[in-house]
Amino acid sequence: MRKPKLGLGAMGMSEVYGPADRGESIATVHAALDAGVTVIDTGDFYGMGHNELLLAEALRGRPRESYQLSVKFGHLRGPGPVFGGMDGRPEAVRNFLAYSLTRLGVDHIDIYRPARLDPAVPIEETVGAIKEMVDAGYVREIGLSEVTAETVRRAHAVHPIADLQIEFSLLSRAVEAEILPTLRELGIAMTAYGVLGRGLLSGRWRAGQPTAPDDMRGTSPRFADGNVQHNLALVEDLRRVADAKGCTVAQLAIAWVAGQGADILPLVGARSRERLSEALAALEVRLDATDLAEIEKSVPVGAARGDRYPTAFMSNLGTDS
């Protein structure tokens, strides 16, 4: 898979961070493509298909070879904000894929990945079913999302895995211990989501800031009273480094992730052209050894307070922090 320096995560254009402007979302996708961003990440369960339909509209008329679609599947949902686990059965893989191809209006998905591990289905069976879709021409490459190093190895033995999508930021660095070394040993890339800590590292979040009813940050442990004040104090220390570099806190956080290796693709969830422009400018920020040491001093490994997801979601993640 061709790797640009930045990918666009489209989830927030449909849900989880409160209301989004449809016209601005589409304009942001257009601006990203025009700027050379080619990887666009979505999930068939984002907004119950809304996100895929939105992208179909945004991508209409664009040459198919000019963008790459990364699609997650498998999360089961009910009406309202109800999640009902994962379905990684081979027959479900084919079913989910058929719906995604139709909603997106394309004849293939560039990289297709289960959103989480289905504990009831061996990963070999899920990946084997995607492999059949690769052989049939409906999928180009296979990816994974939020799984352990052991699961990566098992999946890779069935079919080469293109990349693992997992949370990685200055506030979430557990992947450095085992997962990232495993990926590099096997020649697998990493797509890093949550690079701004869902807004904590944006430099704009404030303690006590109200959230919309459908904004996931209202139930996120890292945004809970007590935790958020601690985490924002880390951000203020980071702001000192950013000011010295002449960039924003968000740009510094993105530049740090981008600088961790050419095999890591930062995924930014920009919902507006303004935020996208800020993120793209982060790619021009160069961090030397002194900068990295100052960043480490400001936000040491494990410094964040609070889990990255509510307790109910923590058991199916690739790392526990």
For the chain, 321 residues long, the average pLDDT of each consecutive 10-residue run is 74 88 97 96 95 98 97 90 87 98 98 97 98 98 97 98 97 96 98 94 88 82 92 95 97 97 96 96 96 96 84 62 54
Q: What is the pTM of this model?
A: 0.92
> Would you state the pLDDT for residue 308?
77
Residues 197, 223 contacting (CB under 8 angstroms): no
The label of the residue with tokens 């560039």 reads 110
Instruction: Kindly report the length of the chain.
Output: 321
Q: Determine, yes or no, domain membership for 237.
A: no
- For residue 3, the model assigns a pLDDT of 43
Structural domain contains residue 170 = yes
- 32 CB-side CA count, 13 A: 32
Those residues whose C-beta lies under 8 Å from the C-beta of residue 112, and which sit 6 or more positions away, are: 71, 73, 97, 130, 133, 139, 141, 142, 143
At 2 the pLDDT is 38
**Residue of 171, 195, 203, 169 whose CA lies nearest to 304:** 171
Helices (H), the chain: 22-34, 50-59, 90-104, 123-135, 149-158, 179-186, 227-245, 249-258, 273-281, 289-298, 311-314
Count of structural domains within the chain: 1
260: domain CATH number?
3.20.20.100
The per-residue pLDDT for 59 is 98
Host domain of residue 151: 7-198+250-286
Q: Check 46, 67, 112, 309 and give the catalytic one.
A: 46
Is residue 306, in this structure, part of any structural domain at all?
A: no
Can 46 be counted among the known catalytic residues? Answer: yes
At residue 321, the pLDDT reads 54
Q: Determine, yes or no, domain membership for 104.
A: yes
Decide if 219 is inside a domain.
no
Is there a domain that residue 316 lies in? no
Residue at 291 is within a domain: no
Q: Is residue 206 part of a domain?
A: no
